[in-house]
């Protein structure tokens, strides 16, 4: 594997792991948001700090090899499906990023990206 492909693959794996951890943290934040509002801003800051450590430490320490393995398998599968090479890596990464975008848009803003995209396409056509 060339130096460029290796760096691109490492970037894809690491960025997907970061976004996965952030998605887990955002889901956890949604569950405790209503509770922490009534306990003051300092308690809210403390809970957010504890939650960040509770999510990111295990993800990057204990689950690092599993996330990298799953991400690498996804990237390899996408490369095989598209004939290999850099285009397969970029296609698989773009698809994974699109799914992450859908999840974050739903979680943060309660937006249905697929439905909105359909409405946009209807208006465009």
Give 73-94 as a DSSP string. Answer: HHHHHHHHHTTSHHHHHHHHHH
Contact 29, 47 (CB under 8 A): no
**Does residue 112 or residue 85 have the better pLDDT?**
112
Q: For Cα atoms 10, 48, 102, give the angle at the middle one, nearest 5 degrees.
A: 50
Contact 9, 75 (CB under 8 A): yes
Cβ-based neighbour number of residue 11 at 10 Å: 12
Q: How confident is the model at residue 115 (pLDDT cuts 50, 70, 90)?
A: very high
Q: Three-class SS of residue 112?
A: coil
pLDDT tens digits along 23-82: 888 888 777 776 666 666 677 777 777 888 887 787 777 666 666 677 677 767 766 776
Burial class (CB in 10 A: 0-12, 13-18, 19+), 80: exposed
Whole-structure pTM value: 0.64
């Amino acid at each position: 594997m060339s130096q460029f492909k290796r760096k691109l693959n490492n970037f894809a794996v690491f960025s997907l792991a970061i976004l996965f951890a952030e998605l887990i943290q955002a889901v956890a934040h949604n569950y405790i948001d209503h509770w922490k509002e009534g306990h003051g801003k300092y308690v809210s800051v403390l809970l957010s700090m504890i939650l960040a450590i509770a999510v990111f430490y295990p993800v990057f320490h204990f689950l690092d090899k599993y996330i990298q393995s799953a991400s690498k398998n996804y990237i390899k599968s996408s490369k095989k499906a598209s004939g290999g090479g850099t285009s397969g890596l970029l296609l698989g990464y773009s698809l994974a990023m699109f799914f992450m975008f859908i999840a974050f848009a739903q979680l943060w803003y309660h937006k249905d990206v697929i439905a909105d995209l359909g409405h946009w396409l209807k208006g465009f056509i």
